[in-house]
Amino acid sequence: MTAIDMPVAGSRPKPRMHPLAVRVMHWTNAIAMVVMIGSGWKIYNDEVIFGFLHFPQEIVLGIWAQHALQWHFFGMWILMLNGLVYLAYGLISGRFRRLLWPIRPLEVVREALAALTFRLKHADLTHYNAVQKVLYVGVMAVIIVQVITGLAIWKPVQFSGLVSLFGGFQGARLAHFIGMALIVGFMVVHVALALLVPKTILAMLTGGPRVDPAPPTTPPAH
C-alpha cells in the first residue's frame, strides 16, 4: 500500500477500482455469455440462416437443439438479472459517469489508430481510454438489443410489436444473429487487449488499485 492509498485515521479506506460487486457481475456475465453463445450456435444449426455456415459440434453447447434451448434459457435469466443489477449499480453509484463518460470522437479515432499500431498505453488502470469506453458502452447497447430480439423470436405472437420493429420474424432472427456476431467480435478484441496488459485481468480478479469515490450526483445545498 502506498502513502496515497493509506486511509486517514478513522476514515474508511478508499474503494477499489473494481469493487467486489463489479467483479462478481463481470465474471458472471462472461460465463453466462459463453453459455448463451455456445447454446445459440447449436440452436442455429437446427435451422441455419446461411447455408454455408454450420457451427462444429465441438464448439457448441447442447447435445441436440432442445437441450441447447434449455441452456440458452438458463443463461438468459442469469445474463438478464445480472445485467439489470449491473446497469442499475453503474448508473446509481456514478461508476458509468466516472469511467465511461465523456466519449470524445476525436480521442476515439486517435486512440483507435494507436491501438491498431500497438502504441496505445494502458499504464493507469483507474481510467479507461476512449477505445475502451466505446467498446464497453457499445457492447452494453448490443446486449440490450440482443435481449429484445431474443424476446421477439422466442414469443413472436406475444411480442408481435417487437417483431414488426425488425421487419418480421426473419428480420428479428437475422438481427439476433448479427448481435451475436458483434458480441463475439467484441469478446475477441476485449480478451486480446486484456491479455496484452495482464495486470488488468489481475485487477478484475482482485479489485485493483484504490480510487477516489465517485463525486456526489447533485451539488451540495448552500
Provide the binding-site residues for ligand HEM, judged by CB under 6 A: 22, 26, 29-30, 33, 95, 99, 125, 136, 139, 183, 186-187, 190-191, 194, 200-201, 203-204
Please state, in angstroms and rounded to a whole number, the distance separating the CA atoms of residues 117 and 80: 36
- Closer to ligand HEM by CB, 80 or 99: give it: 99
Question: Coil, helix or strand for 212?
Answer: coil
**Sign of the CA dihedral running 3, 133, 149, 35:** negative
- Minimum gap (Å) between residue 192 Cβ and ligand HEM: 10
- Minimum gap (Å) between residue 159 Cβ and ligand HEM: 23
CB 175 within 8 A of CB 149: yes
Residues in CB range of 159: below 8 A, 6 or more apart: 151, 152
- Minimum gap (Å) between residue 51 Cβ and ligand HEM: 28
Residue 87 burial (C-beta neighbours within 10 Å; 0-12, 13-18, 19+): middle
Question: Side-chain half-sphere of 86: how many Cα atoms within 13 Å?
Answer: 22
- Closer to ligand HEM by CB, 45 or 146: give it: 146
- Closer to ligand HEM by CB, 136 or 159: give it: 136
- Minimum gap (Å) between residue 3 Cβ and ligand HEM: 23
- Closer to ligand HEM by CB, 16 or 95: give it: 95
Question: Coil, helix or strand for 163?
Answer: helix
- Minimum gap (Å) between residue 169 Cβ and ligand HEM: 26
- Closer to ligand HEM by CB, 74 or 186: give it: 186
